[in-house]
Structure 1
Amino acid sequence: MEKHSERGNHKPASPAADYSRGEHAMPSGLSLAANGLRFVPAETWFELGVPATWTFEIIDDNGDIVTVFEDSHGELAHLILVRRDLTEFQHLHPTLETDGTWRIENLEFSEPGVYRVFVDIVVDSRPTTLGHDVFVPGEMPAKTRPAASRQAQSQNYRIELRTDEIAAGEHTQLMFDIRDDDERVPQLKPYLGAFGHLVALRDGDLAYLHIHPEETDPESGRVEFGAQFPTPGRYRLFLQAKPDGNLITSSFDIEIDR
């Protein structure tokens, strides 16, 4: 599911707000408050399979509703919803109203469970990611995940993570090759101002890394990201790209030993 925001109160992003080359490398999203901002959702409980209109606000240290945000990769906010077992994922773009209320129409959860909602915003040239749990009651079926996975299938495309050595605390170039089922190299179309979008979450606490790609050739079928993982451990990567203009989402599991 994908939604695109309409423009509300905003101002152009300054150079300091361009964090495509690593300012999001440190973990974030572990708190509902950071950088003088607080994430305040209207509701935290949702009915399974029932579309809902959901609103939230960003409050500053003075208790005032923030109404001015800066563009970040073509959007005023990025909303990432992930079930805490890392098996469900949505990337949405809410609409900002003039009074500072953010709104998502037809928000729907197809699986029960506890979800972490991350909101990515830029205020006063400072990128901030805030997190909040929401709940979808129901019997949650167990879903297993591999200890490590380097290949994925989405629609008729096969995606492979080509990076072998990944160490904590070191700069790593993550390379993903995208091919269709006939081994054809698709042409990559821009998505959020780049040729790919990557979210990395650390297993156990859902520490959040939000990294945008390095420049790549759209004819190569490859997207590359500069990343730095803060600690050893298990991570799940959610990759989004638009081969041939088709938005695909795929996931990969990596284990960092050192």
Structure 2
Amino acid sequence: MESTKENEYRVETLRDVLNRLRAGLTFLEEIASKRVRLNHDGGHAAGGSAPFPLNVTACDLIDAIRAAAADIAQHIGLRFGPSMDAAGLLKGMCRYWCRCMIATIDDGLYWISVMERLNELQRQADRLIDPHEPQRYIGVCPTCRAGLWVPDGTKLNPDEYRLCFACHKSYLVRDVQQAQLARLLLANVVDTDDGIRRTLHSCGLTVGPCTLRLWKTRGVISDLGQDESGRNLYSLSEVLCRLHQTKYPNLLADLT
């Protein structure tokens, strides 16, 4: 009887955190995809061909939530299609699968590890949705794929090792920064002047506050339109190519 009550408590606690993650998922998806106005007078944005602005931090978190939910489903023997997204997994687990968990989640150590993982994802979601203290996202842990954050203003040494708070494994800052930069290139990121510079700063690259505007004036790079506040948007890949030519000659070689 005591074991049954303990399992019921675990299921209810798990269902509570899954419901909270599910409730925040809509906001994360809105953060992940930014709506903008693009130019249609030729150049990079002609015909709507410009890359769609993307918040890679939010996309990483959505992927991590989906991976965590999928791991739990696999552990308790539940079937789901490979195309099921994070919202579908969370909805199904909250509505239909929790009764199955009572009989299967009987490993206290496993339950603790699951709750630690989900609570960490919830903290990261809260930080994105309603940030109270300034934090800077630098990438994902190479061991557990959890998001890595540092207090804003922290000076990172690329050759230093830091600790992941999710899995407690150490990581080399340089490896995380280079991996994040490569992922940003693949994501075809578009952002404002300030957003591009903050992103590059998190990856260990410094760009002056007037650099992008100066390059645009000289015709070295082009803006891809404007966001809803009328601020110019730039392609991260185009900025990186220019940095490779001017300031970081080994930049692109380090990413291959």
Q: TM-score, normalised by structure 1?
A: 0.24
Query: More helix per residue: 1 or 2?
Result: 2
Query: More strand per residue: 1 or 2?
Result: 1
Which is higher, the Rg of structure 1 or of structure 2? 2
Q: TM-score, normalised by structure 2?
A: 0.24
